Amino acid sequence: MKNFSHIKSKLKAKLASNELTLGSWLTIPHQSIVEIMSSAGFEWLTIDIEHSAIDFQTTQNLIGHIQANDMEALVRVSKNDEVVIKRVMDAGANGVIVPMVKDANEARDAVAFTKYPPFGKRGVGLSRAQHYGIGFESYKKWVQEESVVIVQIEHISAVENLAEILDVEGIDGIIVGPYDLSASMGKPGMFDDDDVKEVLKRIDKITLEKKKPLGFHVIDSDHLKMIEKIDKRYSLLAFSLDFFFLGDKAREEMSLLRSKL
């Protein structure tokens, strides 16, 4: 049995050099979706267990399918919680995306929950990630050097503390959560609002000045929306998600079909 979590992370290397990396989001818990998404050329998929019904057992199965299809498996955890992060990492995830990180202390917690002592404080167990016991020594080295920790900037408090968050050792990059960020300003989903646009510009400016990977989850399945972010020097980009790709294409083709009838 090959232990995919011990392979050197291409994503980690790209983040370290601020090189563009493209992934997507997974909410439909089925092997077929993973295999279809892999044929599109994504480098990584994020399993969303914050806003989906995906449980831990299914998460581990999906991690295995993602890695078996030559992509890296990230998990957007439900919260910045020691047990939740430990369980998805033990399941063999290449890394985590941690939601609603508001300050440097919370960012340090995210790293500590992912890494073993002495750098972190993650509890030690033997599961898939550790090759069920026989790969613990190699995994111990891997998790320190290759595991990925991304924090989501999705609250106005996080923007105020962004410089300090970016300085936390072990944080590989950030992803902006535009819906929750705008909601924390009392303007949920109002992305054309001047105040929301100004806050997004502040995030861009601070992150680029710190020379850290700037990430965004572009929900729209239109590739032109991705180009807009690339032109703004975003380098960690999640392109839409499984049900948007499926739904948008189905609606588009049915609309075209009906227009011909």
CATH at 97: 3.20.20.60
CA distances from 125 to 56, 90, 111, 113, 134 (A): 16, 7, 17, 13, 12
pTM of the model: 0.95
- CA 109 centroid distance within chain: 17
Residue-range definition of the domain harbouring residue 22: 4-260
pLDDT by residue, tens only, the chain of 261 residues: 456 656 889 999 999 999 999 999 999 999 999 999 999 999 999 999 999 999 999 999 999 999 999 999 999 999 999 999 999 999 999 999 999 999 999 999 999 999 999 999 999 999 999 999 999 999 999 999 999 999 999 999 999 999 999 999 999 999 999 999 999 999 999 999 999 999 999 999 999 999 999 999 999 999 999 999 999 999 999 999 999 999 999 999 999 999 999
Indicate left, alpha or beta for 100 from its phi (over 0: left) and psi (-120 to 50: alpha).
Answer: left
Report the number of distinct structural domains present in the chain.
Answer: 1
Write out the catalytic residue numbers. Answer: 51
